[in-house]
Amino acid sequence: MNEKIMESENRNFTLYKRTGIGRGDTEFTTLKVVSSDDAYKYVIEIKFDLDSPNFNGQKVKYKIHDCYISYGLRNVSDTDQDIKTVIQVLNEALKFETKIRHYLSTVGDNY
CA 108 from chain centre, in angstroms, equals 16
Entry pTM = 0.86
- Residues 45 and 35: beta-carbon distance below 8 Å: yes
pLDDT in tens, 25-72: 899 999 999 999 999 999 999 999 999 888 888 999 999 999 999 988
pLDDT in tens, 64-103: 999 999 988 666 677 899 889 999 999 999 999 999 999 9
Q: What is the pLDDT of residue 106?
A: 94
Complete DSSP assignment for 35-99: E-HHHHHTTEEEEEEEEPP--SSS-EEPEEEEEEEEE---SSPPPHHHHHHHHHHHHHHHHHHHH
Question: Structurally, how many domains does the chain consist of?
Answer: 1
Domain span at 45? 2-107
Q: What is the pLDDT of residue 110?
A: 87
Comparing CA positions, the residue from 79, 89, 82, 2 lying closest to residue 37 is 89
Q: What is the pLDDT of residue 23?
A: 86
